[in-house]
Structure 1
Amino acid sequence: MSTLFVVATPIGNLEDITFRAVRILKEVDIIASEDTRQTRILLTKYNIKFKQLISCRARNEVASAKNIVKLLGQGFSVAYVSDAGTPAVSDPGTRLVSMVRKEGFKIVPLPGASAVTTLISVAGMGGKGFLFEGFLSPKAMKRRRRLQKLLESGMIFVIYESPYRIIELCENLDKLCPNRNIFVGRELTKKFEEYIFGKAYEVLSMLSVMDRIRGEFTVLVGI
């Protein structure tokens, strides 16, 4: 039976991939990916050759999903990977999975790396549960309103942030919840992996001494 495999890939260190994921990527007929250039790096690392690569990113996900459904209908097996981490977790993949399921094809998840669980595991701030928000809106007022709602929930929460807005995020947190501890992870699992813990103003102080703020950030806000 034709199958769509939803495959988690490393968030930084290419060694953070499961044996099963490598096997499936070698066995499937087609690999669909958010960024084929990024995926080729991973395939080269594990000597996975002669695969048909097709693009399935946010901007073309619906059209690409229709094509993948046709390929499944023709009897091909397809693996889907996003740039890094688990597809459909603040990454493309949701619409693809939904369309494939509606057409009655089998969908198999291959679990693995995810920035949110990586950060939670070393934060020492978790409880029985947490809220995961992903990326906030780039619009300043909308971001601030959503932050306020998350803070009012009474739970710890995790958000993703770009290097271009991490300062603004910490400034907002300093104004809205100056007494809460936050735990920030940067470049998770990569060469320059770094963690910062403290109140928002303390994190701001540490970020301000960086010559240039780089990398993707994962931020846990405590209670």
Structure 2
Amino acid sequence: MDSRLHQADSTRLVRRDVLGVVCAAPNRALLLRREALALWAPPNALGLRKRSRTCGRTLARSRGEASMTIIAAIDPGLTGALSVLDDNGAVRLIADLPTMPTEGNGTIKREFDALAFYALMRGAVKADESAICVIEHAAPFGKSMLSAAALEATKAGVLAVLRIQKHDVRRVAPTTWKKFFGLSADKDASLTLARGMYGHLPELKRAKDHNRAESLLIARWAQRNLT
């Protein structure tokens, strides 16, 4: 009896996931190897639910468990973007942040359209669903006063809408999520990585779609670090 119990315990501890990494091993090198391999395919492509940072949680889908975590990520600014991933990691939405013409003859010709953003979010995340919403939080250093003011106004509008809709709002510094993917400030590298991970989505086909790509990568970072 003792030998059978010992064998059952060993089987539970030495369970391999689909990437061939031993989950029971607390070795950081193995965990980093697993993370690096997983970067190049979205969780839904591997049949995975979001994996927690601890090794004890594995394949929720294989257990028949239901996850309710949806991720929305915002790369703020007048040329910013929104990406939404469902609980299996599939892309629900990639879109530019909506803007509208400003009144008058000022230098800034467009401003954030909060009502259109409200509708965009409600279309992607239904009223009976909840989401973790992550917004990139970067200090406006190196920007002109007008650009910095426009960025801060956009972030304020985004945050107001997300809170009205009662979402769980988080902030992430650009250095944090970019370090996770091994990226620098090069936006072309972000676009290349997003295309490699999610295939050539039509929303990422243009060179100027780097902000869409970064919002998608922020969503992926949140899915792997906040859930």
Higher strand share: 1
Larger-gyration structure (1/2): 2
Name the TM-score, length of structure 2 as normaliser.
Answer: 0.26
